[in-house]
Amino acid sequence: MSRDLLLHGGSVRTLDRAAPLGRELAIRDCRVAARSAPRAERVDLAGCCVVPGLTDAHVHFPTWSLAQGQVRLEGASSLDEALARVDDAGATAAPGGWLRGVGWRDGEWADPPTRTALDRVAPDTPVALFSRDGHSLWLNSAALARADSPLERRGGVVERDGRGELTGVLREEAAWAFRELHARPSVEEMVAASRHGLRIAASRGVTAVHDKDGWLGAFEVFSRLHEQDELTLRVWQSLPWDRVDELRTLGIRSGFGDDMLRIGYLKGFMDGTLGSATARLLDGSGVEITTREQLEEVVRLAADAHFPVAVHAIGDAANRAALDAFAATRDAWAPAGLRHRIEHAQLLAPEDVPRFRDLGVAASVQFSHAPSDRDLADRLWEGRPGAYAYRSLIDAGALLANGSDAPVEELDPLAGIVAGVLRTLDERPPWRPEQAVTVEEALRAATVGPAWLERQESRRGTLAAGMLADLVVLDRDPLACPLEELPDVRVLATMVGGRWTHASSESPVDVP
């Protein structure tokens, strides 16, 4: 239950341009107030800093939650190391069930992933391992034997060896179709995993997410948690854009739901990814999942159903095609005030950067991808200047919303802010430091930008009077501390709608 509070004795970074810095924050009836209630409970911040609640604007929340209990292959530097982790986890698989995992990236491996390699450590249990970018699936023979329909899909890749035999690796639409038909987790599994995921998210200051697992049934997962009063963050849910006719028939529009859970936008794909070498580039390489003409049709149908569109675009050709489609359909969506977004925008031709501002299309990016992908990007996109060009986008007037793409990266907005500002996550020098953003810009991309995309900028994103009391207590002021201390900033407490959802043992707040 919400209480009337007065947080004092620290700093308050409101992100409200009219009053950006305060020394106390009043909360009344679940909202930020201009003044405290007469009998408000006083909470001494003891020098800590309050910032608006953090939003992860691109996360596959149930998938990330499930991954907490799956085989984790991040950082596996060779095929043998990956196989050893699968072998170690084999005993945990239920009889007759799947062994699932995530996180492999074979770009630096001497030997490629194959079904025969997996068969050596898991000859009988079906194994399904998604790559770190979520666009490639590595299967063993037992898993492939579960398929009772062709593996080929338009916009997909089914890898075969020189003899025409399946290697066990599927990419793009072929990978997703296999998961949907043969290895999909149950709603009950996702609910149980997401319950645990919510606790982790709260401990990292997350008060809202823009979820991308709509195709997987995430809305039902969140609905079940909401019904049981266990949903401790706000959800802006995507749905696949091939459901637009169904939504229009039902009369469901963007914003359907309540303050905690709403259907928000339609999502689809233009191309593949850097990690799977399927990003669509202007040199003609990569995989084209959706053409410009097809996207134009989707955007017009979505506008008629009153839905904004989020389109995955990695390569410079895919981003140009997406921008062209939004430009060609502006007559359909601009009068309705729809707020579209391009997901990732990892490689941009310089002349396309200002088009985000000109069209009013947001760049939904992931700051953590830049230092994480630096080696692959240098190898595969050598000499291309527009990679992870966050500074250029901001300077051109584009609106940025930051996410993690978890489980691709970890769901941790503070780590994303560090990546955006420092452009490195290890001991190496910053990568392409000219594209770094400021701390305030990174923080606004985790607060103000996502709220704007939801049309909630008058209710969330800042700590101005009247806004919903979604906030985070940090152990220090990220806008005042030395940049070298930025990786050490810690979340002490998290509040959603005036209710504490997390408090660490070192927190100055008391969670009932």
pLDDT of residue 93: 74
How much is the pLDDT for 126?
A: 94
CATH architecture group of domain 64-182: Roll (3.10)
CB 256 within 8 A of CB 230: no
Which pLDDT belongs to residue 510? 74
Taking the domain 5-53+466-503, which CATH number applies?
A: 2.30.40.10
270-297: burial string, b at 16+ Cβ within 10 Å, e else: bbbbbbbbbbbbeeeebbbbbebebbbe
pLDDT of residue 2: 63
Instruction: Give the domain ranges of the chain.
Output: 5-53+466-503, 64-182, 186-453
Give the list of residues 6+ apart from residue 156 with CB closer than 8 angstroms, or none. Answer: 170, 171, 172, 173, 174, 175, 176, 177
CATH assignment of 186-453, among 1.20.120.420, 3.40.605.10, 3.20.20.150, 3.20.20.140: 3.20.20.140
Q: What is the mean pLDDT of each run of 10 residues along the chain (512 residues)?
A: 87 97 96 94 96 98 94 94 92 80 89 96 94 92 92 93 95 91 91 97 98 94 98 98 96 97 98 92 96 98 98 98 98 98 98 98 98 94 93 98 96 98 95 98 98 98 98 98 97 97 90 64
Q: DSSP letter string over 203-239?
A: HTTEEEEEE--GGGTHHHHHHHHHHTT---SEEEEEE
Beta bridge partners of 271: 288
